[in-house]
Chain A
């Protein structure tokens, strides 16, 4: 299976700790996205990369959040000084840049469920 993968699948941490999540996109996809989803809500956009360039970041994203995609392949999302309100499912998605009208179909990984105690 060559879908989007995420690690870890679950993370429990104490308030104030730092956490880092990893996302490996579908190999031929140049675009990578991070979303956050809380119970009863749709996914909420956090940030977006094309290759290694971070092209967009949500205005809602606290400066405690940082994302990287150093070689244009996998990406990491770090949350510093976690708060209980950070508890959510963190989703990564990827999409190709070629393929005509299908270029912005986004495919999601299994997600990382974060619980902040």
Chain B
């Protein structure tokens, strides 16, 4: 079944640690996105990609990086986690026409202590 997967679902980590949030999709979508969402707040775009070897920063300043070596895989890395990074991270993908909207993964809820 075509879908989008995020791991881990929950993560508690200490300050200063390096972490990678995984996102994979099996829908063959070219476009992929990372959003950050705090409870009850709007989604903020932090990174996006239009295809292999294409990555762009979004509107939210973030100390994170992404890579897109394969169409299906779009991991997000925090080199040094801080308590201010505590949030929910949502990965999404879409086709070029976007008529079907974004398909979101289940999210990773990150807590940095």
Does B associate with A?
no
Interface residues of B (CB under 8 A from A): none
